[in-house]
Amino acid sequence: MAEFSITIKGLSLKKSELAESDLALLNAAEEASKNAYAPYSQFFVGAALKLINGTIVLGTNQENVAYPSGLCAERVALFSAATNYPNETVHTMAITVNTAKAAISEPLSPCGSCRQVIMEYQNKQKSPIRLVLGGQGDTVWVFEDASNLLPFGFEAEYLKG
């Protein structure tokens, strides 16, 4: 049996250490989370994408009583950007959560489905998507490439015969 390990490359910062543009994007995600529809989980997620042309696209999680009919904030934002700005590159995505149920002091990580979708869009645009992840605390994680969150992502090349 051979053992192996994986290194995830990212930065752990305080909000005060973020670049002004990243802090503004994270604040936009936090503001968007207030518009999430999460009556069942009370877990309000906001995502804000910054396109290469400077446009900001927002997304919020949308729950449905017929689970899993809802959609995560990250996918709402990505799908909206792809629909409304089909030829623009996503530069950075900020994601955050707020909930009264428990303090989420550590940064929020996207679910597995969202990680896979983010990777698909990163591969489609042939350039990395930076991720700025926050929670209700002061710690923020920054990843220069979304592949750091999904080291074993399912790739389109696997489907080729």
Tens digit of each residue's pLDDT, the chain (161 residues): 999 888 889 999 999 999 999 999 999 999 999 999 999 999 999 999 999 999 999 999 999 999 889 999 999 999 999 999 999 999 999 999 999 888 888 998 999 999 999 999 999 999 999 999 999 999 999 999 999 998 888 877 777 86
CA distance 59 to 27: 13
Residue 105 in 3-state DSSP?
coil
Q: Is residue 158 part of a domain?
A: no
74 is catalytic: yes
Q: Is residue 5 part of a domain?
A: no
Q: Is residue 98 part of a domain?
A: yes
Residue 39 in 3-state DSSP?
coil
Contact 33, 45 (CB under 8 A): yes
pTM score, whole prediction: 0.93
Specify the DSSP element, H or E, that contains 114.
Answer: helix 112-125
Catalytic residue among 74, 88, 155, 157: 74
Q: Is residue 92 part of a domain?
A: yes
Q: Is residue 133 part of a domain?
A: yes
Closest by CA to 74, choosing from 116, 38, 105, is 116
Q: Which domain holds residue 109?
A: 11-147
- Give the number of domains in the chain: 1
